Chain A
Amino acid sequence: MNSVMEKNLKLAAADIKKMALEGVHAAKAGHPGGSLSIAEVLAYLYLEEMKVDSKNPKDENRDRFVLSKGHCAPALYGALALKGFLPREDIKTLRKADSYLQGHPDMKGVPGVDMSTGSLGQGISAACGMALAGKISNKDYRVYTVLGDGESEEGQVWEAAMFAAHYKLDNLVAYLDFNGLQIDGDITEVMNPTPLDEKFKAFGWHVIVIDGHNFEDIEKAFNEAKTVKGKPTFILAKSVKGKGVSFMENQAGWHGVAPNDEEYAKAVAELDEYIASLGGVN
């Protein structure tokens, strides 16, 4: 990855984080922690990886994205705004009764959202359906889904894992954001789903382990996935919940709580400082 591309991706991820926090702050509710930990992968998917066009969001040949951890919708809306699917000023209407930006993604209301999600475990199954439909219909689109680590405690994730391997869905990539924290605490203490890499391997997936905040890792993983034939790819991404905002990092308490005015200002200041350090414009 060249330095210009990496810088642009870092700026995009920071921008997604700012938009996610803006939405959650304005709504006084939402999920900042997990939104911040997936900003990098969303930036990469929407800017570099996926063939999607905001002018033709229902193109039947487009790549598909399913946010299986639907509660991190604020980050997805940020990515969609960045890509032109929705006006960025709409972000502040998140979760309001007169807004189309629901607390969890709604495919009927938001251009660019390929599946309504929010109930954990269901998104990866829907992604399997899209991938299989593509194969049967001889389409060459690819399907991407992002899961949470706590989400892997849902039995349906493993039903889907079996299904994807059984049907050799090599056009499917499941990216699991392993930030290690769920609402009630450390995932290994609440209900330990690890080792997720070995489990997905045993289920018949091609497994890649990366640092979810490192764009070179992310790029390599998605490129590698394209070379895998006959198997779906599972990317286990180690990440930091709340990444990019010092006081939110690694705090389970920031799973589903909005920052107050003071905290929001501090978070934005930190992200702006980071953007400035990259030579970006706030």
Chain B
Amino acid sequence: MKYEVGSKIATRQAYGDALAEYGCDENIFVLDADLSKSTKTDSFKKVYPERFINAGIAEGNMMSVAAGIASCGKTVFASSFAMFAAGRAFEQIRNSIGYPNLNVKIGATHAGISVGEDGATHQCLEDMGIMRTIPNMVIINPADATEARLAVKAAIDHKGPVYLRFGRLAVPTVFDESYKFEIGKGVELKAGNDVTIVATGLMVPYAMEAADVLAEKGISARVVNMATIKPIDKDILIKAAKETGAVVTAEEHNVIGGLGSAVAEVLAENAPVPMRRVGTQDVFGRSGTPAALLELYGLDTKTIVAKAEEVIKLK
């Protein structure tokens, strides 16, 4: 499946497409908790119904069932909304999947504030933080449909648990088919010397736009796409901190626990530089259109630009 650069496609759609595309492998099983139309696992179900298992609205059981299936040598995708996967089923993921290092991929859709109108109970802003504390867990938060598809393939090829974070909202496709994705590798999207913007997920296009705005102001901003939150690419971060001397992170997640925290941990120990974190500022979300909420919570170009200008002054 190829996605046109500039076309708006939700990463969850690419997840479903990729499951259908790579699902010919008879070892792949897909589970869902009554949300297959929303998580897009129904794309897999249509092609391979015999390996699709609906667990009903019982996410805890689903995760442990996934562990049991994986223990029999299968590659298992278990899907729900991020809130109910990472949130409700945390302990099943931790004990049934993480501890025995089983080959379960958690396909968590509807992550972040851009869920929109459903409001705070469904807007998961904690999942990367929660998942990051589990040993063996790989966390991937793709920026667009192209990257989401490649992330699903990489997750299949990786032996062990992976948390895949997808969004509900249709987002601009940034990468064309020549884009290379590798677990644990950040990608420099734009060169720059004055400040580095490290972005993940749907914040990546905003970071690119912010770099353009900053350029008009005479500021040269480097942009790094950090799709893998764990294991995080230390090398690219340390290099960026040393070469640009200031870092801004941007994520659709609480600034506590997610990308901002992960980057701060690396830099504090290896290359401390002034830093600012764009994300939700330890608050719950609310109902609204995705666009209204992204602006309301400061997940936009304007905020990234302001934080970049602020952090440069601290150099």
A→B interface (CB under 8 Å): 60, 64, 66, 106-108, 114-116, 118-119, 121-123, 125-134, 136-137, 155-156, 159-160, 162-163, 166-167
A125 to B60, CA, bound (A): 9
Say whether B58 contacts A163, CB under 8 Å.
Answer: yes
A107 to B101, CA, bound (A): 10
Say whether A129 contacts B60, CB under 8 Å.
Answer: no
- Pick the contact of B96: A108, A122, A134, A159 (CB < 8 A): A122
Q: Determine whether B74 belongs to the interface, using a CB cutoff of 8 Å to chain A.
A: yes
Chain B residues near A160 (CB-CB < 8 A): 61, 64-65
Chain B, interface size category, equals 20 to 34
Residue of B nearest to A160 (CB): B61
Say whether A163 contacts B55, CB under 8 Å.
Answer: yes
Q: Which of B1-31 contact A (CB under 8 A)?
A: 29
A177 to B67, CA, bound (A): 24
A125-B65, A126-B65 as given contacts; A108 in contact with B101, CB under 8 Å:
yes
Say whether A129 contacts B99, CB under 8 Å.
Answer: no
Q: What are the 8 tightest A-B residue pairs by CB atom distance, in nearest-first order?
A: A129-B68, A125-B64, A159-B61, A126-B68, A159-B58, A129-B65, A129-B69, A133-B72
Q: Determine whether B212 belongs to the interface, using a CB cutoff of 8 Å to chain A.
A: no
A127 to B91, CA, bound (A): 17
B→A interface (CB under 8 Å): 29, 50-51, 53, 55-56, 58, 60-61, 63-74, 91-92, 95-96, 99-101
Say whether B72 contacts A156, CB under 8 Å.
Answer: no
Say whether A162 contacts B68, CB under 8 Å.
Answer: no
What's the least CB distance linking A252 to chain B, in Å? 25
A119-B95, A122-B95, A162-B58 as given contacts; A129 in contact with B67, CB under 8 Å:
yes
24 contacts between A and B (CB under 8 A): A64-B71, A66-B68, A108-B101, A114-B71, A115-B71, A119-B92, A122-B60, A122-B64, A125-B60, A125-B67, A125-B68, A125-B92, A128-B64, A128-B68, A129-B70, A130-B68, A132-B69, A133-B72, A159-B56, A159-B58, A160-B64, A163-B56, A163-B61, A167-B53
Say whether A133 contacts B74, CB under 8 Å.
Answer: yes
Say whether B100 contacts A122, CB under 8 Å.
Answer: no
A133 to B29, CA, bound (A): 9
What's the least CB distance linking B130 to chain A, in Å? 16
Centre residue among B63, B64, B70 by max chain A CB count within 10 A = B64
Chain B residues near A134 (CB-CB < 8 A): 72
Say whether B101 contacts A115, CB under 8 Å.
Answer: no
Residue of A nearest to B95 (CB): A119
